[in-house]
Structure 1
């Protein structure tokens, strides 16, 4: 047999502790190598992982798999490979490319195993909404996002994609295991609990307060995708322990979302696919409604002195050092076909990466908010 005998993929989904797991994988790379598991990763990403910062793992789904493997010479001699990216489930279920075929072509004789974390829909949708505002330039409100949330149905498509290439899919529910997340990952790898080091930070890639969220939304409207570099990125990187808050959602919108999720999760195919111990739990409207502010009620947003200082520093740096890059990204957004949102995801990506390197911040290229 040529090539690795086993290739394992952690495919997300986003906002299920992926950044935490990836930090542990990067920091524990040498130990994994001793155990015969090759986790290839670029030096800069490994350095970020060691200090508990966001890495998005060791795959770039926007690239072809061949391009990714070419960056990692150790792949050629590895018997067991491990890859992680929180957006990989999106690429595997995309109708625009056949990433599964790329995987099977690259590893024609290997056993393929996939791990996907799911999360109870209400809490996951809120967290995913925060992510699309934080990192993907989304300007809509949470109710708009709830209407397009599709993760249970996407899980069915992921299962089909994995089976099509002869792989096996393991499903774990983050909502059941958030306090022992690494242990569930180690169990999937067949390793004893405690093999992977705990990340340097207990919380990585936090969600936002309502004030931070509304500020980021306003910047998204006027500056576009690149504005995360001066608002949410520095706030989350430098103040990781601030408690997040749920956004405002009208009661009728929340009720409609809960009803739709109840219907989708009752699909017999999902019931058969998700193990009983990992099953989705939706909850009732009365159970959730009190957590969500009324969007029509007046609200004053507050910021601590530390938040204000971080924002002032980031904006000052952007004005003095990054203005050409930010302007180039915004100009490209206005001119590109498909409008600002599409251009911010595509034409401005190079400018975003250049600016991210200057600030040592992650790029967050996932267009679906699973980054």
Structure 2
């Protein structure tokens, strides 16, 4: 195999335009092939299942069968491709620790691994990340979340520790440098507010060797945002349903709710100006470290300088109307309807699974690869379980913070 054959692995970070890039790669597969660029699997779903298998990640309540054992055939397809360049994207890889990174690099040999890291200014990440966490079932207010991120020693341990596990850029880069030379890591910055919306796509295209404009789309893609009041509705709904839904049920439910809430004209979620000093200080330290390390940068490190957003009246800051009790009643009613819908979905899924088993008969015994995959899944579940316990246990809280410090050493 020629030394020029590469695999470009886009690892996030999360909330940095990953959905936009993944959609563009999927839509432009045919056009990319004309330039010698191949996207394995055919869809981002295939990539996600393979990476979940590699990481030991599972969706609670479903999808285990499609994830288990998915990495090895995916990796083999990358190696077997005759295209000079292969590219795939999955932000879960920002969580990878050195052992997982080494396994990925070894699985894709003899291709040269080029790591692409998309980065966004911390001020914009925080509000977007909190919204996503609310949509995924978290119950912290934005104020509580920011306190935990600012100081993981205070506030819910799972919120602060969980954020920095995914968003500490230097920690992520340290893990990937355990198996990838520094000169093979590319930093792509998200354009600052006010710049051309397609600039991120063009920057990504430049890294993988595609012409400018190829990854542009006539429609805006990505995760649609909700405003302050809509996020508060979902957050309160989470409090009511905290112990009643499996993860796959909640994800299905949030897709339905999000469709009904996006597009409303309401105050956007922005980080209060009172938080700006520590965000700016942390950002400056990150930019200095990136500059000192000398990674190739596509874009500008100036894009990572946070800019204070407009003031936002957060829920609970005063000015509630007499309609608050009505709103609470409406939320309770929505919880009941939503729970019924989610349980109906789960019953239908179980019936379909039973029909598939009856048609297919008894399956083959587990292979060594699947047993190893199940072991990784158990390890990932144990770490996730321990982090979830951190809020209510001093021992688990101490362990979570100690783990973050141990794995984040420069």
TM-score range, shorter chain: 0.5 to 0.7
Find the residue that maps to 2:91 and give its secondary structure.
coil
1:90: which partner in 2? Answer: 95
- Residue pair 2:202, 2:216 contacting (<8 A) in 1 also: no
Deviations 1:116-167 (A, max 9, x none): 11111111111011111112x2111122322235389722123223332234
Distance 1:21 1:226 in 2: 24
The alpha-carbon deviation at position 33 of structure 1 amounts to 2.6
For normalisation by structure 1, the TM-score amounts to 0.67
1:233: which partner in 2? Answer: 255
Deviations 1:292-347 (A, max 9, x none): 537421346999xxxxxx99996664354436989xxxxxxxxx9948957xxxxx
The alpha-carbon deviation at position 231 of structure 1 amounts to 4.9
Distance 1:250 1:236 in 2: 24
Q: Specify every segment of 5 or more residues in structure 1 that has no aligned partner in the other structure, as ranges.
A: 47-54, 304-309, 327-335, 343-371
Distance 1:39 1:324, change over 3 A: closer
1:207: which partner in 2? Answer: 225
Q: Does 1:78 align with 2:81?
A: yes
Distance 2:19 2:312 in 1: 26
- 1:166-177 correspondence runs (5 A): 166-167=180-181, 168-176=184-192
- Residue pair 2:50, 2:71 contacting (<8 A) in 1 also: yes
Deviations 1:34-75 (A, max 9, x none): 332221135xx46xxxxxxxx595454331277324147643
Find the residue that maps to 1:113 and give its secondary structure.
strand
Distance 1:259 1:116, change over 3 A: closer
The alpha-carbon deviation at position 187 of structure 1 amounts to 0.8
1:132: which partner in 2? Answer: 133
Distance 1:26 1:140 in 2: 35
Q: Does 1:68 align with 2:71?
A: yes
Q: Does 1:265 align with 2:286?
A: yes
Distance 1:263 1:56, change over 3 A: farther
Deviations 1:142-199 (A, max 9, x none): 2232223538972212322333223411112213366122111111111112223516
Deviations 1:61-108 (A, max 9, x none): 3312773241476434214321101221122xx3xx612111221133
Q: CA RMSD in A?
A: 4.0
The alpha-carbon deviation at position 263 of structure 1 amounts to 5.9
Distance 1:153 1:313 in 2: 35
For normalisation by structure 2, the TM-score amounts to 0.62
Distance 1:292 1:174, change over 3 A: farther
- 1:276-315 correspondence runs (5 A): 277-279=300-302, 280-283=304-307, 287-288=308-309, 290-291=311-312, 293=314, 295-299=316-320
The alpha-carbon deviation at position 112 of structure 1 amounts to 1.3
- Residue pair 2:101, 2:176 contacting (<8 A) in 1 also: yes
Aligned positions, number: 307
Distance 1:3 1:69 in 2: 22
